[in-house]
A and B are shown apart, each in its own frame.
Chain A
Amino acid sequence: MDNHDRILEVESLKKYFPIKKGFLKRIVGYVKAVDDVSLSIREGETLGLVGESGCGKTTLGRCILRAIEPSEGTVRFKTRVGETVDVTELENKELRKIRRDMQLIFQDPYSSLNPRMTVLNIVGEPLICNGIASGSELRERVKELMELVGLDKRHLERYPHAFSGGQRQRIGIARAIATNPKFIVCDEAVSALDVSIQAQILNLLQDLQKRLNLSYLFISHDLGVIQHISNRVGVMYVGKMVEMAATEELFNNPKHPYTEALLSAKPMPDPRMKTKRIILQGEVANPAKPPSGCYFHPRCKYATELCKREMPVWSEVGAGHYVACHYANQLDLQGAVVQ
């Protein structure tokens, strides 16, 4: 991949939460929420990040923005002036400056908006904090943003409770693009919405991406949504990245057994396509006490003794296709059914 058009490069990122027990709060272990993850995103691209509960995708998104402090690793980001900085090393003042370039859209349209602030206040806040606009200029800018996201600008002075879930999500999006960012982390941005509203918001995000040349890290547990909006997809399991490839390649030609199981688990909206399901046994592993060797081995139908002993290495198995599995190229895995 051409280095020149990379906007984000994450290397060996770790976030370990200490587990403290007892009166003296001794550290007895760690929840390895993000465990040595690397990825990169090009300008104008959408990297989808998929995985189930506890896989670390939300924590990874927050670490990249430094909303949570990473334990280890680097996050190199190309700012709007073309400078590349390591987000993890920045002092507060510089961090505040680049925060204009990296934003976040949250999942829950109900808890992510302050119920006591009007739309003007909510969407205007980043403009005020960053010294970008004030007074009548602020009003005009907020109205512009509202129109961009499909909201009626006459509703400027309304409070969140007056809007539906989909509309609130639009407010959240307007807030995120207010400072003209280059990169947005969409953390389950459509998961709480009804299907028909979800489609509206996905269309909006794609339109904005084209108009404003945005790059997205799109986090979701929904494979259909990920497939629709992403150029490339990363699959996470218990804090680790287990596979990454271009979207079509990942869906048609998965190389990791967990990806295969995820693809097969999703029910297809067509009764004529009841695929032969791979039903995984057991539950998702506990990130505070992960299994030995490959974290996925207890649930993997292809697992061997090697898998129990040794952690597989992240390696490139095809053009731009990366996997962490001892048997990556030896397994004949089932891809998603293509309509």
Chain B
Amino acid sequence: MKENDNVLLEVKGLKTHFHIKDGTLKAVDGVDLVIKERKTLGIVGESGSGKSVTSQSILRIVPPPGKVEGEILLRRRKTGKNEELVDLGKLESQGKEMRDIRGGEIAMIFQEPMKAFSPIHTIGNQIMEAILLHNTRDVKEAKEIALDTLRKVGMSNPEQRLNEYPHQLSGGMRQRAMIAMALSSNPSILIADEPTTALDVTVQAQVLQLINDLKEKIGMSVIFITHDLGVIAEMSDEVAVMYLGKVVEYTDVDTLFHGALHPYTIALLQSIPSVGKRNERLESVEGTVPTPINLPKGCGFYSRCKRAKDGVCNVYDVPLVEIGENHYVRCLLVGN
């Protein structure tokens, strides 16, 4: 790990493979990421890119038969003694230390709040459960913290909400409740996996603003996973573009939108319908994402790439190379 005060979490060579009867499904196949203090890393990718499995791997909640390999180095909070560097990849996924971190220092919010909450317990019950696990043993104190967090996330009538069930809240409110649950332990890192995809655009705007405000107030880092490039532009400081289990481009958000180099990133940017492009044909990427089992040699994007060179792109492994300052690209045709 670099001697860099800023880095909170470093993922090195992450591989999450599922050994199934048809072969090995390589959902995540060699991913490197850096999460810096108080910064948002956006991870963008379409279905099958491995972005969700990446976040599950960090929190060690990948369902079997998935196996996680590689280093996931977390700089744990100062606990009085010196700062520790813990490799989450080496911890027991159900062990005490991992359970301490999961929902504590690293919290996660999901796309479908209705699925993330238990339908038979009240919101208050569920938020307090998280607090009682990570903050305090005192039930009264836990209730106060729960109320306070609900207020922080702008929930109307927090006292009433505590006694309500998830189905009684609207989508936007459920998402706020989930954010409250995630925040109640004052996490250093919030992983947000498509948290606004299922929400109406005006409610999405509220939730995105909320996450940004809280990021400022609490000083947390965010890993924001989405397929929506508009949201990525809005929320991220740095962006990793994923395709078929690998990071294909990694840079700061401005360079990504104004200086992207990987053919997949460029194709993605050109396929967004938006102002000024009315009625022209959209540049679309032909074909579909292959299933990451028994993939052929070479670049994963070869079958759909307009610039692909036969004999080069479909033969050699493609490394992630630093092309410019803080700009990494995985393409043999870029750079020298």
Contact = CB atoms under 8 A, between A and B. Distances in A.
Contacts of A179: none
Nearest to B281: A203
B274 A195 contact: no
Contact of A269 (B173, B209, B233, B278): B233
Interface stretch (A22-30, A114-122, A279-287): A279-287
Interface in A47-97: 52-53
Contacts of B235: 267
A197 B272 CA distance: 10
B234 A251 contact: no
Interface in B271-313: 271-279, 281-286, 288-289
A194 B47 contact: yes
Contacts of B46: 194-196
B257 A262 contact: no
Nearest to B196: A267
Interface string A309-337: 00000000000000000000000000011
B122 interface: no
A202 B277 CA distance: 13
B269 A196 contact: no
Contacts of B281: 203, 206
B205 A277 contact: yes
B233 A268 contact: yes
Contact of B279 (A198, A206, A271): A206
B203 interface: yes
B204 interface: yes
Contact of A337 (B227, B257, B275): B275
Interface string B176-218: 0000000000000000000000001111111011000000000
B228 interface: yes
Contact of B288 (A166, A274, A337): A166
Contacts of B254: 271-272
Given A266-B201, A283-B172, A339 B273 contact: no
A224 B271 contact: no
Given A277-B205, A279-B205, A284-B200, A267 B288 contact: no
B25 interface: no
Contacts of B271: 195-196, 198-199
B227 A195 contact: yes
Nearest to B235: A267
A82 B284 CA distance: 37
Contacts of A337: 275
Interface in B208-254: 208-209, 227-236, 253-254
Contact of A265 (B47, B202, B268): B202
Chain A contact surface mostly: helix
A263 to B, nearest CB: 10
Interface stretch (A99-107, A134-142, A225-233): A225-233
Given A195-B271, A196-B268, A271-B253, A228 B279 contact: yes
A228 B278 contact: yes
Contacts of A266: 201, 230
A280 B268 contact: no
Interface residues of A, number: 48
A227 B275 contact: yes
Contacts of B236: 271
B178 to A, nearest CB: 16
A307 interface: no
Nearest to B283: A199
Contacts of B201: 52, 221, 223, 262, 265-266
Contact of B170 (A221, A283, A336): A283
Interface string A188-212: 0000001111111011001000000
A228 B277 contact: yes
A248 interface: yes
A274 B267 CA distance: 23
Contacts of B258: 270, 272
Nearest to B210: A279
A269 B229 CA distance: 5
Contact of B202 (A52, A196, A228): A52
Contact of A228 (B170, B268, B282, B286): B282
A269 B279 CA distance: 18
Nearest to B239: A271
B286 to A, nearest CB: 7
B269 to A, nearest CB: 7
Contacts of A194: 46-47, 227, 289
A169 to B, nearest CB: 12
The winner among A165, A223, A227, A283 for most chain B CB atoms within 10 A is A283
Contacts of A195: 46, 227, 229, 268, 271-272
A215 interface: no
A52 B170 CA distance: 13
B274 A271 contact: no
Given A267-B234, A268-B230, A248 B278 contact: yes
Interface in A143-175: 164-167
Given A164-B288, A224-B274, A336-B275, A265 B282 contact: no
27 contacts: A52-B200, A195-B272, A196-B268, A224-B275, A228-B273, A228-B277, A229-B273, A229-B279, A265-B204, A265-B205, A267-B205, A267-B228, A267-B230, A267-B231, A267-B233, A267-B235, A268-B233, A268-B234, A270-B257, A270-B258, A271-B253, A277-B205, A279-B209, A283-B203, A284-B170, A284-B203, A339-B276
The 8 closest A-B pairs by CB, nearest first: A228-B273, A267-B230, A199-B284, A199-B271, A52-B200, A199-B282, A265-B205, A194-B46
Given A198-B271, A267-B231, A283-B203, 19 more contacts: A52-B201, A53-B171, A195-B227, A195-B229, A195-B272, A199-B271, A199-B273, A221-B200, A221-B201, A223-B201, A224-B230, A224-B275, A228-B278, A264-B205, A265-B204, A267-B234, A270-B258, A272-B258, A338-B275
Interface of B: 46-47, 170-173, 200-206, 208-209, 227-236, 253-254, 257-258, 267-269, 271-279, 281-286, 288-289
